[in-house]
Amino acid sequence: MPPTITTRDGRTLGIYEAGDPGGVPVIYHHGTPGSGLLYPPHDLLATEQGIRLIGYDRPGYAGSTRNDGRLVVDCIADVHSIADELGLDRFASWGISGGGPHVLACAALCDERLVAVASLAAVAPYEADGLDWFAGMGDENVDEFGAVLESREALEAYLGPARDGHMNATPEELIDVFKTLLGPADRAALTGGLATWMLETGKNGMRDGYDGWFDDDVAFAHPWGFDVGEIERPVLILHGDDDRFVPVSHGHWLAARIPDAETRIYPGDGHLTLGTNRVREAHEWLLAQL
């Protein structure tokens, strides 16, 4: 069990730390589904770069109390609570995939302690004007968000078997679990340590059920509670052009609407390779803003 902190409103959040304990604090927002459990190579990278890397379980995952009905914007109070409890006077943040909207919420509305954020393979708002939200998305995610849009009962009916499949899978079986979501680069990457960690972080996050996953999905499909066009902090947007979890069109949409965002689109990268190969430069960019 990870250490926990208590939020300002009395909930519990599971916290994970890696890298250099005396380094520059960087808060990590995990993907969906998942947990704040940190990828071992990111631990080594953070140590090398002088970063104190801090992950946390969003509400409903692993060690964190559920916050039923939460919006994307509600993560700000949790990040402020983490900064309070850990004594962070100045920090940066990055989020990947389902963590992307949450780190963008922080960019929009966190207090002055947050200096800059990096958003990796972030999903765009469901009602994004001018975006065909499902275009280029693999069948598993199309089915999942189709259930979100249908009803609460449909989403529960989808997530129950999906969670069971993840909890019972072996690392070798993940390629079948994600079969329509994997382009060539991601398929080649999903072996060994990455596959093992993906199973571990998912099983950790969903050990008591799928509440966190459910609440993430519902939050993504509803208004996020802030306007990305009002972000004033430095933002780096990273996306692979062969991402079938979150198509690159989402990254382009965000890049066009976040003022002064720096955008890097990587030819041939997928969703998983972005999170393994591009974190070094995300960290380097964040450090340069501090």
**Span 38-78, pLDDT tens digits:** 999 999 999 999 999 999 999 999 989 999 999 999 999 99
Mean pLDDT of 273-284: 97
User: Residue 274 sits in which domain range?
Assistant: 4-289
- Bridge partners (DSSP) of residue 92 are 26
Domain total in the chain: 1
**Quick one: tokens of 57?**
């379980």
Residue bearing tokens 């596959």: 195
* pTM of this structure: 0.97
pLDDT value at 2 more than 80: no
What is the C-alpha separation between 88 and 275, in angstroms, rounded?
25
What is the C-alpha separation between 32 and 127, in angstroms, rounded?
19
What is the C-alpha separation between 136 and 196, in angstroms, rounded?
27
Handedness of CA 257, 262, 267, 272 (dihedral sign): negative
Predicted pLDDT at 63: 85
What is the C-alpha separation between 149 and 106, in angstroms, rounded?
26
Q: Which residues contact 276 (CB under 8 A, 6 or more apart)?
A: 39, 41, 189, 194
- Bridge partners (DSSP) of residue 55 are 16, 28
Amino acid at 283: H
222, burial (CB in 10 Å: exposed 0-12, middle 13-18, buried 19+): middle
Mean pLDDT of 132-142: 97
What is the C-alpha separation between 278 and 240, in angstroms, rounded?
10
